[in-house]
């Protein structure tokens, strides 16, 4: 792989060795959550938690965005997003838990959802 190709694959700074894209997310609904204990933003994509309190401690559903814009850092905002999930996982560890979860995620598009009542 050339240097040019490597730059195209990763938009955010590398934090894990041998970072690779492990999946694409296309137009998935998620909820923005701030974990104040560790000062980290996540995007929860598990359907059971989109409209209810909490989050899923799972690499599959907890995305740790590396390029979440300041305007999107709104607690509990529901969004539709697309992007690339990376193999850099186990990024979230809370003090009272003995396991880690959450995979690094590069957002390529994010749109807030509003109620259409």
pLDDT digits (tens, 9 = 90+) for 13-72: 777 888 899 999 999 999 999 999 899 999 999 999 999 998 998 999 999 999 999 999
Cα separation, 75 vs 72, in Å, equals: 9
What torsion do the CA atoms of 91, 96, 97, 103 make, to the nearest 10 degrees?
-20
Tally of domains within the chain: 1
Prediction pTM value? 0.84
Residue 78 inside a domain? The answer is: yes
Structural domain boundaries, residue 75: 3-13+22-112
Residue 63 inside a domain? The answer is: yes
- Can you list the positions of beta strands (E) in the chain? 21-35, 40-44, 62-65, 78-86, 103-112
Residue whose entry in the numeric block shows the structure tokens 């296309």: 26
Residue 117 inside a domain? The answer is: no
């Amino acid at each position: 792989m050339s240097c040019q190709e490597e730059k195209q694959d990763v938009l955010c700074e590398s934090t894990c060795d041998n970072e690779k894209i492990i999946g694409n997310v296309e137009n998935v609904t998620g909820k923005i959550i701030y974990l104040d204990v560790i000062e980290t933003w996540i995007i929860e994509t598990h359907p059971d938690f989109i409209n209810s309190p909490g989050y899923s401690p799972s690499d599959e559903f907890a995305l740790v965005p590396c390029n979440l814009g300041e305007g999107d850092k709104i607690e509990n905002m529901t969004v539709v997003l697309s992007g690339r999930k990376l193999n850099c996982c186990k990024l979230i560890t809370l003090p009272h838990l003995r396991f880690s979860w959450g995979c690094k995620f590069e957002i390529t598009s994010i749109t807030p959802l509003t109620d259409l009542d």
